[in-house]
Amino acid sequence: MRAQFVLSEIWIGLRRNLTMTVAVITTVAISLALFGGGLLINQQVSQMRQYWDERVTLTIYMCTEISNSTTCEENGPATDKQRQDIQSDLESMDQVKSVEYVSAEQAFKDFQDRFANNQAMIDAVRKGDLPDNFRVQLVDPTKYQAVANEMQGRPGIDTIYDDQQVLEQFFGLLDGLTTAALTVSFVQLAAAALLIGNTVRLAAYNRRKETGIMRLVGASNFYIQLPFLLEGAIAGLIGGIIASGFIVAARFLLLTRIQQWFQFDVTLSTGSLLSVIGVSIILGVLLCTVASFLTLRRYLRV
Amino acid sequence: MIHFENVTKVYTTQKHPALEDVSIDVGKGEFVFLVGPSGSGKSTFLRLVLKEEKPNKGRVHVAGKDLARLSNWKVPHLRRRIGCVFQDFRLLPNKNVFENVAFALEVIGKPRRFIRKVVPEVVELVGLEGKADRMPDELSGGEQQRVAIARAFVNRPQILLADEPTGNIDPATSIGIMKVLDRINRTGTTVVMATHDAAIVDSMRKRVIELEEGEVVRDQTRGVYGQAY
Ligand SMILES: Nc1ncnc2c1ncn2[C@@H]1O[C@H](COP(=O)(O)OP(=O)(O)O)[C@@H](O)[C@H]1O
Ligand SMILES: [Mg+2]
């Protein structure tokens, strides 16, 4: 095998087919960027899910003077006795991992901390507007309904919120985004494969004289096909590297913004980012090589 | 070296066979002219030797190998033992003489040192010493054909097939080409040359096999082009 000879043939081939090569690289880069973006969101969502599964709580708001639900109006504000009963009942339930009582003062303070940089929110809520509540952590967050049913309607309890339900809506949005990105990327990848097939066919036609002579003097099929395959692989690699740029940009611009926005303390690790990039590049190289190979089988016979 | 046994070849698009019941034996080191009018099946014969086509009937043996039993991935190895020259030279226009000849060795993975040693030898053998850096378009037709012969011979094949090698060359220059082929034949290489150049055939006095509409109509040692019986 003469590496230098093969490399110079590849270089000639890539240059001769420059416009098509650029088209292939662009298509591959775009499709892989979408693919990688989809994977990235997917990984981010699963990490956030895991994070919130550990922290998600059921929040039971107690009746206050200003509560206007029917139970509260019938029974009046929650009494200390009711609070004690509810707390001990919750603690005795198998589904419940822990119970934390948050007093009205604490709730107000938490609120102010959370929106420290949002004066409008702080101004809108006065002390006493926020009811005291129980933050209940469940063993299995999906069993929310069973616990909620048990507590719903008890005197002293206003409303029950499941943090997960709120989060699920958001996660569902991200899931949809993932599916959309992956679907579009697969369509794009298919288009890229067809484009590569066409490029290789054109390249094989352009070089029919060379390949004809190669065949005549007894070059092996592998040797005849190698420059085409490597051209495909190189185009895939370059496309993959460009896509990596987009993926890194998406990670630092888009995901970081989502995290800041939702105050999630979940950062995608460098490891996952590298694995997404690795998978994308490998996919690009494989796709291009396989598409070249399949085309060559049809257009470069012995 | 080349052994055809009742070979019939019919192209799928054609009704009349290109070769019909052809039996020919070409021994090692022989020089054979394959003559006959256009369309008589000369090129088809050469393509069957290269396993570019397969016979519909009969057997083809080349260098002791039954081609029907030679698997496809071994065909390149068969072709390394056979050199080929054509009417249209088939040189690569963007490579010079040295590179065109070296190409045949590069694509079968020969080492660079070997190439640098043998290519100049062969370029000299075909009479192109001092012209190794010329591009094909800086050469005459005869010189281009010499390059093609050098490329066909550089790997020292056992067989050299020439399909109307003088077809595009004037008679005076053709004599030089024939001298080169004769020189190659003298190294022990079997040469089969398809032609309809009567003057050349007559002057060489070699074995002549004549084809007509795919059938062998004459096989004569030390023959001439026109019928001489
Ligand atoms: N690739 C092909 N497909 C179909 N028919 C062919 C092909 N090559 C040659 N033929 C036919 O086979 C016959 C013999 O052709 P060929 O071997 O090229 O003759 P020659 O070289 O003596 O001129 C001709 O009738 C020709 O038309
Ligand atoms: Mg012919």
pLDDT digits (tens, 9 = 90+) for A117-151: 777 777 877 777 888 888 888 887 777 778 888 88
Chain A contact for B77, CB < 8 A? yes
Contact predicate B144/B88, CB 8 Å: no
Could you tell me if the CB of B39 is within 6 A of ligand 1? yes
- Would you place residue A162 in the very low, low, confident or very high pLDDT band (cuts 50, 70, 90)? confident
Question: Domain for residue B39, yes or no?
Answer: no
Instruction: Supply the pLDDT for residue A11.
Output: 81
Residue A74 has pLDDT above 90, yes or no: no
Residue A277 has pLDDT above 70, yes or no: yes
DSSP labels for B143-154?
A: HHHHHHHHHHHT
If you average pLDDT over each of A26-35, A183-192, A241-250, B153-162, which comes out highest? B153-162
Scanning chain A, the segments in alpha helix (DSSP H) are 3-16, 18-55, 70-75, 80-92, 104-114, 119-124, 144-151, 163-206, 208-216, 221-249, 256-262, 270-299
Residue A82 has pLDDT above 90, yes or no: no
Q: For A2, name the nearest residue in chain B, comparing CA atoms only.
A: B109
Which residues have C-beta within 8 Å of that of residue A254, sequence separation ≥ 6? none
Interface of B with A in 43-62 (CB under 8 A): 50
Ligand 1 atom with minimal separation from the B163 CA: 21
Question: Domain for residue B116, yes or no?
Answer: yes
Question: Domain for residue B93, yes or no?
Answer: yes
Question: Domain for residue B101, yes or no?
Answer: yes
Can you give the pTM of this predicted structure?
A: 0.74
**Smallest CA–CA separation between B118 and chain A, in Å?**
16
Q: Which residue segment(s) compose the domain that B135 sits in?
A: 84-156
Count other C-beta atoms under 10 Å from residue B215's C-beta: 15
Contacting residues of B for A217, CB less than 8 Å apart? 79-80, 84, 103-104, 107-108, 151-152, 155
Ligand that comes closest to the CA of residue B12: 1
Contact predicate B4/B60, CB 8 Å: yes
Question: Domain for residue B167, yes or no?
Answer: no
- DSSP letter (8 states) at residue A105: H
Q: For B53, name the nearest residue in chain A, comparing CA atoms only.
A: A302
- Looking at the 3D structure of chain B, how many domains does it have? 1
Instruction: Supply the pLDDT for residue B13.
Output: 93
- DSSP letter (8 states) at residue A81: H
Could you tell me if the CB of B46 is within 6 A of ligand 1? no
The predicted complex's ipTM stands at: 0.88
Instruction: Supply the pLDDT for residue B58.
Output: 95
Interchain contact, A212 vs B90, CB within 8 Å: yes
**Smallest CA–CA separation between A220 and chain B, in Å?**
6
Which residues have C-beta within 8 Å of that of residue B176, sequence separation ≥ 6? B127, B142, B146
A·B CB contacts under 8 A? 59
Q: What is the mean pLDDT of residues A283-291?
A: 92
Question: Domain for residue B92, yes or no?
Answer: yes
* Better pLDDT: A71 or B203: B203
Q: For B152, name the nearest residue in chain A, comparing CA atoms only.
A: A217
Per the prediction, chain A carries an average pLDDT of 83
Low-confidence ranges of chain B (pLDDT < 50): 228-229
Question: Domain for residue B90, yes or no?
Answer: yes
Q: How far apart are CA B206 and CA A17, in angstroms?
A: 49
Would you state the structure tokens that stand for residue B153, as one six-digit string?
Answer: 């011979």
Tally the residues of chain A: 302
Question: Domain for residue B136, yes or no?
Answer: yes
Using a 10 angstrom Cβ sphere, with 0-12 exposed, 13-18 middle and 19 or more buried, the burial of residue B183 is middle
B42 Cα–ligand 2 center, Å: 6
Q: Which of B50, B51, B106 to mutate to test the interface with A (most CBs of A within 10 A)?
A: B106
